[in-house]
Amino acid sequence: MTGKTIVILGGGFGGLSAANELRKKFSSEHKIILIERKKSFSMGLSNLWLITGERQHPSQGEHALASLKKKGIEYLNEEIVSISPSERRVETSSSSLHADYLVIALGAELAPQDIKGLQEAAYNFYDSNEAYKVQNALQQFSKGTIAILITRTPFKCPAAPYEAAFLIDSFLRNKKVRQRVNIKLYTPEPQPMPVAGIDVGNAVVKMLQERNIDYFPEHNVLKIDASSKRVLFEVDEAEFDMLLGVPPHVAPPVVRKADLLGPTGWIPVDPKTLQTRFLNVYAIGDVTTIKLANGMFLPKAGVFAENQAKVVAEKIFADVGGESSPTMFTGEGYCYLEVGNGMAAYGVGNFFSTPPAVRLENPSMQYRKEKEDFERSRITEWL
């Protein structure tokens, strides 16, 4: 078969998984090119361990992308300037590439500037450097109110804000100051992780109540007054001494400028093949939108990006060989929800079923160990 050029945009969960799966399948006559502006990859789960000091510094969770070259994957550490999906052409800060197949895995960008006062008042713990600042601030915190604020939906890693609340609670109890600290969690969601169903939501609410973490659903933030340390919602307002914020998430600017987005503000794809409306152009992970049978949308989570990448790799390989691919994305996924004291719960299910069939297993130390193994195995496999 004639050598093909497959270009992957983005070096996160989806991009790294796609690049590795494709390289395993294709011989060296086929070029696998990954473009990423960052020089390293780190999992978002590492930020939670930074908050509590389990990891002392962001560098402990960072892994150099340059090692991709040893696997026969071309890595371009460049900024993507423009994407032409109809031509499958990508312009970077120093290159112009044409792809036979294009895989867009650019994720979601954080937009704290979209909420007035958020950047000035809150720690953005979805950023590793900001999570590191939370670690230092918590060391000094002994009295007052810590608020965790989800500003908008959708957001990636839907369990992360709840995990942050649980881990901060556990940290303060071990520090023996929890009785002097109020922990409050505010969200526009009607319940925790609503797409997972009422039973999962109720289970998380129960765990919050057991730890005396105050929970405020259906709270849409308008703005934050950094000087008076107040959050103004549509319905009321709240005071805080320390604020951790989940910023609004948006599609990256280069994706917004391309003719790719649908009415949701994300890239619509075929739910089973991840094909966009453009020939031989796929999109995977957080940059996509997939509407479920219940009217909600598939959560933005790394495990889905990873599974989607495998489907796309199979599809491209079959297509190059002139065959049909039996592999389809099934909507199955799982996650580990940390609850403190070295334990995690385990959520697993099929989000394509009607309604999504998701269950949450009780917390255990084993599930927390599995979460550590999850990170370790992916880093070993991909880099």
For residue 271, is the peptide bond before it cis, meaning its omega torsion is within 30 degrees of 0?
no
Q: Residue 97 above 70 pLDDT?
A: yes
The closest of 106, 104, 108 to 278, measured between CA atoms, is 104
Q: Residue 372 above 80 pLDDT?
A: yes
Instruction: Read off the pLDDT of residues 165-193 as tens digits, 9 standing for 90 and up.
Output: 999 999 999 999 999 999 999 999 999 99
Q: Residue 356 above 70 pLDDT?
A: yes
Shared-domain flag, residues 224 and 179: yes
Domain presence at residue 238 = yes
- Average pLDDT for residues 88-106, to the nearest whole number? 97
Domain presence at residue 325 = no
3-class DSSP string for the chain? CCCCEEEEECCCHHHHHHHHHHHHHCCCCCEEEEECCCCEECCCHHHHHHHCCCCCCHHHHCEEHHHHHHHCCEEECCCEEEEECCCCEEEECCCEEECCEEEECCCCEECHHHCCCHHHHCEECCCHHHHHHHHHHHHHCCCEEEEEEECCCCCECCCHHHHHHHHHHHHHHHCCCHHHEEEEEECCCCCCCHHHCHHHHHHHHHHHHHCCEEEECCCCEEEEECCCCEEEECCCEEECCEEEEECCEECCHHHHHCCCCCCCCCEECCCCCCECCCCCEEECHHHEECECCCCCECCECHHHHHHHHHHHHHHHHHHHCCCCCCCCCCCEEEEEEEEECCEEEEEEEECCCCCCEEEEEEEEHHHHHHHHHHHHHHHHHHC
Task: Tell me which of 281, 298, 320 is where a domain ends.
Answer: 320
Domain presence at residue 69 = no
Shared-domain flag, residues 372 and 279: no
Task: Quickly state the pLDDT bin for 322 (edges 50, 70, 90).
Answer: confident
Q: Residue 320 above 90 pLDDT?
A: yes
Domain presence at residue 85 = yes
Task: Quickly state the pLDDT bin for 274 (edges 50, 70, 90).
Answer: very high
Shared-domain flag, residues 265 and 242: no
Strand pairing report for 31-35 and 213-216:
unpaired
Shared-domain flag, residues 175 and 206: yes
Domain presence at residue 60 = no
User: Backbone phi, then psi, for 272, in 5-degree steps?
Assistant: -95, -30
Domain presence at residue 376 = yes
Share of the chain above pLDDT 90, in %: 97
C-alpha 93/C-alpha 103 separation (Å) is: 19
- Average pLDDT for residues 57-63, to the nearest whole number? 95
Cβ burial of 78 (10 Å; 0-12, 13-18, 19+) is middle
Domain presence at residue 72 = no
Structural domain containing residue 361: 110-249+332-382
Own/partner contacts of 367-374, CB < 8 Å, gap of 24 or more, are 367/336, 367/343, 368/336, 368/338, 368/342, 368/343, 368/344, 370/336, 370/344, 370/346, 371/45, 371/336, 371/338, 371/344, 374/336
Shared-domain flag, residues 300 and 172: no
Instruction: Read off the pLDDT of residues 110-135 as tens digits, 9 standing for 90 and up.
Output: 999 999 999 999 999 999 999 999 99
Instruction: Read off the pLDDT of residues 215-262 as tens digits, 9 standing for 90 and up.
Output: 999 999 999 999 999 999 999 999 999 999 999 999 999 999 998 999
Shared-domain flag, residues 32 and 18: yes
Shared-domain flag, residues 13 and 96: yes
Shared-domain flag, residues 265 and 351: no
Predicted confidence at residue 1, as pLDDT, reads 58
Shared-domain flag, residues 136 and 86: no
Shared-domain flag, residues 184 and 307: no
Total domains in the fold of the chain: 2
Q: Residue 325 above 90 pLDDT?
A: no
Task: Tell me which of 298, 320, 342 is where a domain ends.
Answer: 320
Task: Quickly state the pLDDT bin for 2 (edges 50, 70, 90).
Answer: confident
Sequence-distant (≥ 6) Cβ neighbours of residue 116 within 8 angstroms? 222, 223, 224
Domain presence at residue 157 = yes
Task: Quickly state the pLDDT bin for 334 (edges 50, 70, 90).
Answer: very high
Shared-domain flag, residues 92 and 161: no
- Average pLDDT for residues 266-281, to the nearest whole number? 98
The mean of the pLDDT values for the chain is 97
What CATH number does residue 261 fall under? Answer: 3.50.50.60
Radius of gyration of the chain (CA): 21
Shared-domain flag, residues 119 and 211: yes
Sequence-distant (≥ 6) Cβ neighbours of residue 313 within 8 angstroms? 18, 21, 22, 25
C-alpha 346/C-alpha 359 separation (Å) is: 8
